[in-house]
Amino acid sequence: MTKGAHSVAGVAIRKGREQAVTRALPEEVPVALVYNGSTQAVMMATPDDLHDFAVGFSLSEGIITDLAQIERFEIVQHGQGLEAQMWLSDDRADALAARRRFMAGPVGCGLCGIDSLDQALRDVPVVSSNLTLAADDIPAAMAALRAAQPLHDQTRAVHAAGFYIAGQGIVVAREDVGRHNALDKVIGALARAGISGADGAIALTSRVSVEMVQKCAVAGAPVVIAVSAPTALAVRTAQTAGITIAALARDEAFEIFTHSARIKTGATPHVA
């Protein structure tokens, strides 16, 4: 069992009979993202792959633009949680300090380190990639991601994100109680491995929200594949960012919501 899960005793009621059971449940702990001694955000997360999480969060939230801008990294254990402590290069530390000075009050819109609606709906980079996928790649990506979820197999209570490259399958997969955290872990793992987001697709076990699209755009991923539907705002954002969303991907079926030319379906259009 990974450190991300813990065995808990319980009582199961089945067909009117009571039975003692032991079930693995995912851990959920506060993880503080600390830069040069100051906390930027505290996230409830699964305490696995925290180096990937810290790097991915830092990239996807615009705190850094390159992995090399984190000069030192350390995980510090506290009684109630963990700190991911990072020391930034001088230019990024100055930029983050300036960002903090402009925050007029407490966070008001429910997003980490954001103090205005304009920041919540921030502009995202336009993804540039020549990637195309075959229709078969969509169910293949989801099947490969499903096979790369050991914590889900133990607990049935976590999300996963993965990076799919045609011909190679899922090359990176990460799990977490939070879907955003799982995605940040993948983004961080890609950066640490030197893998370009332009070379493949992000696969998700969750719905596609606007924040997920924003993070994928920063990572440079041209395709997002998800088991559930996107939000309308996520679709509009993906359209602007040049990202293909293939969602509701279950078994052999899926729906393409944006930039469908990247998926070579070979299917015949149905005429009513």
Residues catalogued as catalytic: 109
Q: CA 88, CA 185: separation in Å to the nearest integer?
A: 19
CA–CA dist 89, 13 (Å, integer)? 56
- 82 Cβ neighbours under 8 A, 6+ residues apart: 29, 30, 31, 32, 47, 50, 75, 76
The full DSSP string for 126-185 is PP-----EETTHHHHHHHHHHTT-HHHHHHS--EEEEEEETTTEEEEEEEESSHHHHHHH
Strands 133-134 and 263-264: parallel
Distance CA 75, CA 82 (A): 7
- For residue 256, list its beta bridge partners: 246
Centroid of chain to Cα 215: 7
Extract the runs of DSSP E, i.e. beta strands, from 15-121.
17-26, 29-35, 38-45, 70-77, 82-88
